[in-house]
Structure 1
Amino acid sequence: MRVELTRDLATCHALRREVFIDEQGVSEAEELDDLDHAALHVLGWVGDDAVATARLVVSGDQAKIGRVCVLRAHRGTGAGATIMRGALDILRQRGIRTAKLASQVHALPFYEKLGFVAYGPEFLDAGIPHRDMTLEL
């Protein structure tokens, strides 16, 4: 899988719609917010097919990684780890020192394998249990 920074927001939205809106029942208003136009977006490709995406919201020397998703057919293939490593590499290249994210509770072990550390209490985001996580780059 190749990972690239993209301006193709329509493709990112299509992936997020399939995973978050259609599969997980997140409302469109919650998923497609005003931060998209100011954020950096990453796409993961298998051949000519976009199969994963993540959004990077940069503020000073910190960034929040969000909207990380992988199409169902590509889960368990390493695509999630690849899109995350690509996103972290992009942040490092831009001088970002700290990456943060809000992980769905079931995905905590996935992010922990990438070096993220959970902190703070569990909370609901779009009705789904989450915890905040951080990684020093």
Structure 2
Amino acid sequence: MKHDIIETTDLTHCHALRRTVFIEEQNVSEAEEMDGLDHEAIHLLATCDGTPVGTARLLLRGETGKIGRVAVLRTHRGTGLGAAIMRMAEEVLRSRPGVTQLYLSAQTHALPFYEKLGYTAYGPEYDDAGIPHRDMEKRLRS
């Protein structure tokens, strides 16, 4: 299974993937998922044989790169695609001048996934869209 991951400005597939994973599977409201920040973000799209199967959204906040909206279709989970999307996100953010740390808001069930990628959880658990989350961070080496 060969995955390709690119930066894209065409959000049609990114939105469709987020709708499937977050709105349909996880019952996140459309208003919470489509939060109005997409226009200022960098979007990644993962495909398998040309079919969209994963996405992520990157926001620049001063020296912090925020990785969010990481979504992989159920049929492609466990294939290493999520980790590949995260590596690409880190590469993209590392290439932006002044970005020294990464931040994400992880669903608590995904903490071990992000910990394996070098992220450290901090602060208390909190509710986001009816799903327990914790903040995580990772410092970038220069």
Equivalences for 1:58-97 in 2 at 5 Å? 58-95=60-97, 96-97=99-100
Q: Which residue of structure 2 lines up, in the alignment, with residue 35 of structure 1?
A: 37
Segments of 5+ residues of structure 2 without an aligned counterpart are none
Distance 2:115 2:8 in 1: 26
Q: How many percent identity over aligned positions?
A: 60
From 112, 115, 131, give the equivalent of 1:112.
115
Counterpart amino acid of 1:132? D
TM-score, L = length of structure 1: 0.97
Q: Which residue of structure 1 lines up, in the alignment, with residue 9 of structure 2?
A: 7
Counterpart amino acid of 2:36? D
Counterpart amino acid of 1:122? E
Q: Displacement, 1:97? A: 1.2
Segments of 5+ residues of structure 1 without an aligned counterpart are none
Distance 1:113 1:89 in 2: 17
Q: Which residue of structure 2 lines up, in the alignment, with residue 124 of structure 1?
A: 127
Distance 1:8 1:67 in 2: 16
From 40, 46, 49, give the equivalent of 2:48.
46
TM-score, L = length of structure 2: 0.94
Q: Displacement, 1:35? A: 0.6
* More displaced 10-residue stretch of structure 1: 123-132 or 94-103: 94-103
Q: Which residue of structure 1 lines up, in the alignment, with residue 26 of structure 2?
A: 24
Counterpart amino acid of 1:98? Q
**Equivalenced residues, count:** 137
Other structure's SS at 1:122 match:
strand
Other structure's SS at 1:8 match:
coil
Distance 1:6 1:89 in 2: 15
Poorly superposed stretches of 4+, deviation over 3 Å: none
Distance 1:29 1:45 in 2: 26
Q: Displacement, 1:39? A: 0.7
